Amino acid sequence: MTDLGKQTYLITGGTGSLGTVLAKRLISEGHRVRAYARNEHGHERLEKSIPANQRHLLSCLIGSVEDTDRLRIALRGADYLIHAAALKIIGLAEYNPGECVKTNVVGTQSVIDAVLTSSVKRAVFVSSDKASASVNHYGHTKAVGEKLWVHANRYKPDSPPFVAVRYGNCWNSNGSVFQAFQKQASSAGKLILTSGECTRFHWKLEDAAGFVLDALVRAVPGEIWIPKLRTYKLDELALVFMARFGVSKPFEVVGLRPGEKLHECMISEDEAFMSRDDGMRFVLTPGTPQGNPSKAYHSGQPKLQMSRLELAALIEETALV
């Protein structure tokens, strides 16, 4: 990002796990960051996490993504926008569907409307693997968000700014499986799994942040970038975790939660004809067939799964941080 000169970035959801990593990285490179979120305690934590001699580069803006007027003010003079704000806890989204729509759909349209009347050069939407072959309400709202976002380029044909990425759960982020296992081991003395057969994509927050920033400046407007990731099987991860931390009780299997998938999907069978393999990533072009399309891409594919040895090294690395 340093080749762009010093820029100003607005990050919606700027106090979340991804938003915080993005803010720290951009500020460390000398860019200005406007973190936009409603969470006042999150703003306080973010501000304290920035070195004192760099805090002048951070602006903490309290606001809702449903408030278009506030967004327009926040975007004045900004060069780039990263839209990472979302209600994303699957169970809460299932039982609060209206609120999820307000933030993830209405809020995304509000961000689009604000961008269209701004001087922003590029804007990236952080979508989710849940948007592909969605079976839960959160996934439905992210799928709608993708469509709103990429097709908004039609309203600014001379300089279309909108690109997107699909994002998976990040290792050791807030609410991630590693953190959940740590809490379960300390409180109950055993691990609780929804299903041992579950598989999940593995992605580190720092790598996810780099992918988002790369797509922001290099993706063709209308493209959705999809990372190439390794995966793990939940029971394999649990057994390796138990061995590392001395958890002796067998893990408990409680069944899939409402809206939870057995395997996560980045590219569904029905989307494959619209996607291509660019070597470092997959690129999805909604509505546009590819001459050399990729195949479906999901976490249950055996060739993607990490071995126990790899999982052990990952857990050890995380435990030492």
Q: From the CA atom positions of the chain, what is the Rg in Å?
A: 20
Identify the active-site residue in 24, 88, 130, 233.
130
Instruction: Look at the block and give the residue holding tokens 């975007």.
Output: 75
Q: Tokens for 275, please give them.
A: 């996607």
Distance CA 234, CA 254 (A): 13
Instruction: Look at the block and give the residue holding tokens 């041992």.
Output: 196
174, 175, 176, 179: CA torsion to nearest 10: 90
Q: How many CB atoms lie within 10 A of CB 159?
A: 11
HEC profile of 141-210: HHHHHHHHHHHHHHHCCCCCCEEEECCCCCECCCCCHHHHHHHHHHHCCCCEECCCCCEEEECEHHHHHH
- Stretch (H or E) spanning 282: strand 281-284
Residues 6+ apart with CB under 8 A from 75: 10, 81, 114, 115, 118, 120
Among 311, 317, 277, 308, smallest CA distance to 295 is for 277
| C-alpha separations of 2 from 19, 67, 123 in Å | 19, 32, 18
Residue 147 bears catalytic tag: no
Distance CA 278, CA 270 (A): 19
Side-chain half-sphere exposure of 218, counting CA atoms within 13 A: 13
Q: DSSP state, 246? A: T
Distance CA 221, CA 68 (A): 22
Active-site positions read 130
